[in-house]
Amino acid sequence: MTQMRTSPLPNPEYRREMYQDVPTKRFFAWVIDIAIIAMITLVLTFFSLFTALFFLPLLYGTVSFLYRWSALASGSATLGMRFMAIQILTAEGHRLDGQTALLHTAGYFVSVVTFPLQLVSIAMMLGTARNQGLSDTVLGTVAVNRLAD
């Protein structure tokens, strides 16, 4: 006898409201996060007496990585995601822990530096039932609308 395993994640057929507009919200959350990361980088550049301009891409990348990792690990959402009322959940339906947040952030960075992978990830977000990107699919994570507490 085969036992059927059900996912603790909301079923998009029955709980469509959990996934409604998530790709659009992810885009606007990304724009908000880019602005926050740019501001942090600008402040750090100012405090370095502008010597950070010599390694600005490295500084920006480091700030971005640490911002995303710490935000996902502490609340399962970046500030942009929180503003847009979405969060990332594990395959078990839980918030991200530090390790999963690290892997999710690393997957995001691999996608960003490998442009074709970013296009694949965007296409997957727009074309799958749970709106999962490439790193979401690999890790089993999913972005959902955050329910009111």
pLDDT in tens, 85-143: 999 999 999 999 999 999 999 999 999 999 999 999 999 999 999 999 999 999 999 99
What is the rounded (10 degree) CA torsion for 69, 78, 108, 43? -70
Q: What is the pLDDT of residue 100?
A: 98
Task: Pull the structure tokens for residue 118.
Answer: 């970013």
Q: What is the pTM of this model?
A: 0.90
Residue 64: what residue type?
A: S
26: closest CA among 113, 108, 138, 117? 108
Neighbours of 145 (CB within 10 A): 18
Q: Per residue in 13-51, is it b (16+ CB within 10 Å) or e — as a string?
A: eeeeebbeebbebbeebeebbeebbeebbeeebeeeeee
Pairing of strands 86-89, 142-145: antiparallel
Mean pLDDT of the chain: 94
The per-residue pLDDT for range 30-75, each reduced to its tens digit, is 999 999 999 999 999 999 999 999 999 999 999 999 999 999 999 9
